[in-house]
Amino acid sequence: MPKFSQTSKQRLGDCTPELQRLFKAVIKHYDCTVLCGFRDEEAQNKAYEDKRSTKQYPYSNHNMYPSIAVDVAPYPIDWDDMERFRHFAGFVEGMAASMGIKIRSGGDWDSDHDFKDQRFIDMPHFELVN
């Protein structure tokens, strides 16, 4: 059975209890790694400069503590395998729905199940929505 590394556990620990509960359930079925939970000002602005985020500090959902956003990737990571990222996102979204947790993914910002109509693709990104 897959399990999180200490680093992934620490990063997930910076997120809301809902995100922690969700990804603790996901890891039981799908091997994945937590890339980022909370981002401080320096980390957020670097993500923006590197074009991994469209928002500067403090306007990202990663900038709240606990974070309402988390970046998680299927493990092992293959950045060229977008089909695997889409499959993982669908699994996470299905698990969240079954748990009553409302999220959206960075591959489908408008949650219309169309990955082709996005201007900014951030496949590892998941965030809580009201």
- Measured distance CA(124)–CA(120) in Å, rounded: 12
Domain with residue 35: its CATH number is: 3.30.1380.10
Structure confidence by residue, pLDDT tens digits, 71-81: 999 999 999 99
Mean pLDDT in the chain? 97
| pLDDT higher than threshold 90 for residue 57 | yes
Q: Quick one: pLDDT at residue 17? A: 98
Structural domain boundaries enclosing 93: 6-128
Q: Is residue 1 part of a domain?
A: no
Q: Is residue 11 part of a domain?
A: yes
Structure confidence by residue, pLDDT tens digits, 82-108: 999 999 999 999 999 999 999 999 999
Closest to 18 in 3D by CA, of 64, 85, 56, 60 = 64
Counting the structural domains of the chain, the total is 1
Q: How many CB atoms lie within 10 A of CB 82?
A: 13
Take residue 62 and report the two structure tokens written for it. Answer: 């990663």
Percent of the chain with pLDDT over 90: 97
pLDDT bucket at 8, cuts 50 / 70 / 90? very high
* Beta pairing class for 122-128 and 103-106: antiparallel
Identify the three-state secondary structure at position 70.
strand
H or E stretch at 11: helix 6-12
DSSP letter for each residue of 99-117: HT--EEEET-TT-SS-GGG
DSSP letter for each residue of 29-50: TS-EEEEES---HHHHHHHHHT
